[in-house]
Amino acid sequence: MTATGTATGRRGRPGHSLDSLLRTAVALFNERGYDATSMDELAARLGVTKSAIYHHVPSKVELLRLALDRALDALFAVTGEPGATTGPAIDRLEHVVRGSVRVLAAELPFVTLLLRVRGNSAVEQAALERRRRFDRIVTDLVRAAEGEGDVRPDVDPAVTSRLLFGTVNSLTEWYRPDGGLSADDLADAVVTTAFAGLRTRRAAGG
């Protein structure tokens, strides 16, 4: 991914790119927690010196920023795709949900880290604000679909949005890319179960 702030595969010392460094850092952050992970531990996991890490990034917090931006940039990219910007709102909403599941499957460690952010630093607070912006996009789609008569009106759009993405986010607890279930199959399962209770009879029949 080449969006702002993401790892691009720049190479420094032999054997380690920024991308491989970032993946290892995210794995450690998820295992031990960001605050409990030291640069010494990261260097030991990589089999390099700390100076080799600093060739790529100036600090541990920069690794966190890059990791969170990677997940968020991928999610926001979905909202800019044609399927998310044209057509009936219910179809756009389904596209965003499907795309979000695919992002989760493709960037599972990064999304997992994002969902554990609690706002303990400026970097985490910025990530939470971007998550809230994403949530507002989804809520607006739900509201638009309700206005078009395709989503049942008896549930608040903000609640529907939270329920949808509560389902998507829960996938980080059990989904494994090597477990035999493809990202497309996973997206189909989420959409089928979630939208069955969301669509009005008119939308289901249409």
The pLDDT tens digits for 40-88 are: 999 999 999 999 999 999 999 999 999 999 999 999 999 999 999 999 9
Q: Per-residue pLDDT averaged across 150-177, rounded?
A: 93
Mean pLDDT to the nearest integer, 152-176: 94
pLDDT of residue 43: 95
Question: Residue 165: which residues within 8 A CB-CB, separation 6 or more?
Answer: 100, 135, 138
d(C-alpha 61, C-alpha 174), whole Å: 28
Burial 27-66 (b: 16+ CB within 10 A, else e): bbbbeeebeebeeeebbeebebeeebbebbbeebebbbbb
186: CB partners within 8 A, 6+ apart? 101, 105, 171, 175
User: Which is more confidently placed, 134 or 16?
Assistant: 134
Q: What are phi and psi of 67, to 5 degrees?
A: -65, -45
At 206 the pLDDT is 52
> What residues contact 25, with CB distance under 8 A and at least 6 apart?
37, 42, 60, 63, 67
Residue 198's identity, in one-letter code, is: L
Query: 36 is written with which tokens?
Result: 């409990």
**58: Cβ contacts below 8 Å, ≥ 6 apart:** none
Confidence label for 15 from pLDDT (cuts 50, 70 and 90)? low
5 backbone dihedrals φ, ψ, rounded to 5°: 85, 5
Residue 119's φ and ψ, nearest 5 degrees, are 85, 30
Identify the residue with better confidence: 6 or 57: 57
137-161: per-residue pLDDT in tens? 999 999 999 999 999 899 899 999 9
Q: What is the pLDDT of residues 101-135, one digit of tens each?
A: 999 999 999 999 999 999 999 999 999 999 999 99
